[in-house]
Structure 1
Amino acid sequence: MFKRHEKIDNSRSLITNLNPKSPISEQYRTIRTTLDFKLSDQNLTSFLVTSSEAGVGKSTTIANLAITFAQQGKKVLLVDADLRKPSVHTTFKINNRIGLTNVLTHQIKANEAFQKTDFCKDLTVISSGPIPPNPAELLSSAGMKKFITEMSQEYEVILFDTPPLNAVTDAQIISRLVGGVVLVARAYQTRKDNLIKAKKLLEQINANILGVVIHGIETTDTSYYYYYGAE
Structure 2
Amino acid sequence: MLYHKLVAWHDPKSPIAETYRILRTNIQFMSIDSKIKSVLITSSSPNEGKSLTTSNLAISMAQNNNKVIIIDGDLRKPVLHDLFDVSSGPGVTDVLLGQVEITSALQETVVENLRVLTSGQLPPNPAEMVGSARMKQLIREAENIADVVLIDSPPLLPVTDGALLAAGVGGVIIVITRGLTKKNQAIKAKEIINSSQARLLGMVFNKSGTERKGYYYYYYSGKQNNNAPK
- TM-score normalised to structure 1 length: 0.91
Q: How many residues align?
A: 220
1:21 corresponds to 2:13: yes
For 2:136, the aligned partner's letter is K
State the match for 1:72 in structure 2: 64
* Higher normalized contact order (CA 8 Å, seq sep 6+, divided by chain length): 1
- Which whole-Å CA distance do the structure 2 matches of 1:163 and 1:226 have between them? 20
Q: Which runs of 5+ in 1 are unaligned?
A: 1-8
Aligned partner (choices 35, 57, 61) of residue 53 of structure 2 = 61
1:199 partner SS: helix
Aligned counterparts, 1:76-225, within 5 A: 76-118=68-110, 120-219=111-210, 222-223=211-212
State the match for 1:5 in structure 2: none
- Which whole-Å CA distance do the structure 1 matches of 2:33 and 2:80 have between them? 29
Aligned partner (choices 23, 32, 42) of residue 31 of structure 1 = 23
| CA RMSD between the two structures | 1.6
Residues 98/205 of structure 1: CA separation in 2 closer, same or farther (3 Å cut): same
Offset, 1:140: 1.7
- Which whole-Å CA distance do the structure 2 matches of 1:171 and 1:229 have between them? 20
For 1:154, the aligned partner's letter is I
Offset, 1:137: 1.0
Offset, 1:191: 0.5
- Which whole-Å CA distance do the structure 1 matches of 2:181 and 2:62 have between them? 30
Matched-pair identity in %: 41
- Which whole-Å CA distance do the structure 1 matches of 2:99 and 2:188 have between them? 37
Offset, 1:218: 4.8
- Which whole-Å CA distance do the structure 2 matches of 1:63 and 1:156 have between them? 16
Q: Any runs of at least 4 consecutive aligned residues in structure 1 with deviations exceeding 6 A, and if so which?
A: none
- Which whole-Å CA distance do the structure 1 matches of 2:52 and 2:143 have between them? 23
- Which whole-Å CA distance do the structure 2 matches of 1:155 and 1:46 have between them? 10
For 2:28, the aligned partner's letter is D
Q: Deviations over 1:143-195 (max 9, x none)?
A: 11211122211111000000000011111111111001000010011001011
For 1:32, the aligned partner's letter is R
Offset, 1:11: 6.0
Residues 197/22 of structure 1: CA separation in 2 closer, same or farther (3 Å cut): same
Offset, 1:223: 2.4
- TM-score normalised to structure 2 length: 0.91
Q: Deviations over 1:89-140 (max 9, x none)?
A: 000000013100000011111111110011x110010000010011111112
